[in-house]
Amino acid sequence: MRAFMFAVTLALGAVTACQAAEIKVISANGMRDVIADTKAPFESATGHRLTVTVVETGEIRRRVLGGENFDVIIVPRTAADDLEQRGKIVPGTTVALIRVDFGLAVASDGPRPEVSTPEDLKRTLLAAKTVLITDPKTGGVSGVHFMEVLDKLGITEQMKDKLVPSTGGQFHARRVVSGEADIAVQAEHEIRCTRGATFLPYPAVFQQTVTFLGSVGTASKEMEAAKAYLAFLTGPTALTSIKAHCLTPG
């Protein structure tokens, strides 16, 4: 740990000696809160300025492959691997930031449905009137994964009229708590950090853990500053934010 902290301190020290840079960051939603919490501390410590875009993974892929330039790209591992293979990420710059699990949100003051087996989950979903999901067309991981689960359960067609796809998935659990829907499909940390919501994990056969990775984009004109930012996101300030938002370090 001391060696790691020394490496981070050394990297930041080297950056502060350089001219301040604008670092363009594009990130998937999983790191949204951590980025917001650490932006000011990083800028204060280094003199660099962050320009941040947070969108769904599919939109990141579209924009990066479409030629937009970003210094730092934060996406799930599968997307990062694909972008590196396509020459959009600098090999050897990738760091693991957080791990995210997915499941269902229900109101804590209501009945706790049984979802521990595929058959239990199937009955619970078919009994629901409204299920909020992140629109899978945006490439949001939770929505894409949920549609795969429905397909495996053989109830995609039966669920079609119950699903309410939307963007801004971080608010789904709140809408369940307020009574707008019976169930929400969402990242575990977003559910656990929502007062009045209870997290229900998928059956083991459907569980999926996603690791979010940060990398330097090959189009970056500020590679050293970008590396310093990634170092900061693995340091103590970011770790405090990660834990505060019910996330698991990568």
2-99+210-249 and 101-206 have identical folds = yes
Give the Cα separation of 186 and 175 in Å (integer): 12
- Return the pLDDT at 167: 75
Question: Taking the chain (250 residues) in consecutive chunks of 10 residues, what is each chunk's mean pLDDT?
Answer: 42 56 95 97 97 94 96 97 98 96 95 96 97 89 93 97 82 92 93 95 94 97 97 97 94
Q: Where are the beta strands (DSSP E) in 84-162?
A: 95-107, 131-134
Supply the angle between the helices 57-65 and 77-85 in degrees, to the nearest 10. Answer: 10
Q: Does domain 2-99+210-249 have CATH number 3.40.1160.10?
A: no
Topology of the domain comprising 101-206: D-Maltodextrin-Binding Protein; domain 2 (3.40.190)
Distance CA 85, CA 81 (A): 6
Residue extents of the structural domains in the chain: 2-99+210-249, 101-206
Q: What pLDDT shows up at residue 10?
A: 40
pLDDT tens for residues 6-15? 354 445 544 4
Computed over every residue of the chain, the mean pLDDT equals: 91
Q: Measuring CA to CA, how many Å separate 112 from each of 13, 52, 177, 193, 194?
A: 51, 38, 13, 18, 16
Instruction: Give the model's pLDDT for residue 170.
Output: 64
pLDDT at position 169? 59
Q: Report the pLDDT value the prediction gives residue 147, as an integer from 0 to 100.
A: 96
Can you give the pTM of this predicted structure?
Answer: 0.79
Amino acid 11: pLDDT: 52
CB atoms within 10 A of CB 133: 26
pLDDT digits (tens, 9 = 90+) for 207-224: 989 999 999 999 999 999
The per-residue pLDDT for 19 is 79
- Residues paired with 110 in a beta bridge: none
Task: Give the containing element (helix H, strand E) for 209.
Answer: strand 209-216
How confident is the model at residue 140, as a pLDDT? 82
